[in-house]
Amino acid sequence: MIRILAIAVAAAIVPLAALAEPCPGKPQALGTERVIEVDAKTTPRVGRKHFPSTLPLRSKELVLTFDDGPWPATTSKILDALKHECVRATFFLLGRHVEEYPDLARRELAEGHTVGHHTFSHPLLSHMSLARAEAEINRGIAEDESAVYGQRRTNPATPFFRFPGFASNRGLLDRMGERGLVVFGADVWASDWNRMSPAQELRLILSRIEEVDRGIVLFHDTKAHTARMLPAFLRELKRRGFHIVHVVPAENPG
Ligand SMILES: [Zn+2]
């Protein structure tokens, strides 16, 4: 119990403490503007691509999220780019990749990022029975928690979940709500599952961000073009006056 509390406290305090000194020695860095707690009681489902509402963000505020990792060739480059700009993001982990590369998952947490969950093997859960779908979700969570926190459990330290392919249904959404898991959709897609050059991806994502003004941005840290584009993307956000918001679990969930 004490260990669980310690993790919860550390998760809440680390990003807040970082705000006091936004990016030591790098006044030109993008930085992380603020931290918000996200609670399933008040915001059970977020992201306007699939749900009616999103996080309470102000104009020009973005939450950066990365799915499907960790993946060795690309996740480490993405972590380097985020670290260089003192930006904190959220990673939705795939259990089968965590099983292979647990050190990368641990590095994400150690560098102050939020670690959410994205199943074990990325099936489209809406096509499965509720029991099979939940078993797949739990297998992913248990693998992630085991690697990151050393505890194989299905009630995760950070109760954030994203459906593979955004494929959910009413029964699954209700079940996530009962369990207190916040379902993350997105407000902006990088569409980086398509083949494109880093320059093409940069132009596309910047135009989409300008159009929506604020929101949750979806990338994939398994994609080489995303990893190559990220340093320029973060510099361009700074130049255009965007701010990064980091999402963390509520310290005392309602
Ligand atoms: Zn995915």
Residue type, 126: S
How many Å apart are CA 168 and CA 126, to the nearest integer?
5
Q: Is 122 a catalytic residue?
A: no
Taking the centre of ligand 1 as the mean of its atom positions, its distance from the CA of residue 93, in whole angstroms, is: 9
H and E: helices and strands count for the chain? 8, 10
Taking the centre of ligand 1 as the mean of its atom positions, its distance from the CA of residue 64, in whole angstroms, is: 15
How many Å apart are CA 54 and CA 33, to the nearest integer?
18
- Six-digit token string for 49: 């691509």
Taking the centre of ligand 1 as the mean of its atom positions, its distance from the CA of residue 253, in whole angstroms, is: 26
pLDDT at position 22 over 80 = no
pLDDT at position 14 over 50 = no
Q: 253 pLDDT band (50/70/90 cuts)?
A: low
pLDDT of residue 17: 40
pLDDT of residue 12: 47
Taking the centre of ligand 1 as the mean of its atom positions, its distance from the CA of residue 68, in whole angstroms, is: 5
Q: What is the tens place of the pLDDT at every residue in 141-190?
A: 999 999 999 999 999 999 999 999 999 999 999 999 999 999 999 999 99
pLDDT of residue 254: 57
Query: Which stretch of DSSP H or E encloses residue 215?
Result: strand 215-220
Q: Catalytic one among 97, 113, 118, 220?
A: 220
Taking the centre of ligand 1 as the mean of its atom positions, its distance from the CA of residue 162, in whole angstroms, is: 8
Q: Is 220 a catalytic residue?
A: yes
Q: Catalytic one among 67, 68, 187, 192?
A: 67
Helices marked H in 59-122? 72-84, 95-100, 102-110
Q: What is the 3-state secondary structure (H, E, C) of 140-190?
A: HHHHHHHHHHCCCCCCCCCCEECCHHHCCCHHHHHHHHHCCCEEECCCEEC
3-state helix, strand, coil in the chain (%, to 5): 45, 15, 40
How many Å apart are CA 229 and CA 252, to the nearest integer?
37
pTM: 0.91
Taking the centre of ligand 1 as the mean of its atom positions, its distance from the CA of residue 153, in whole angstroms, is: 22
Q: 18 pLDDT band (50/70/90 cuts)?
A: very low
Q: What is the tens place of the pLDDT at every residue in 88-141?
A: 999 999 999 999 999 999 999 999 999 999 999 999 999 999 999 999 999 999
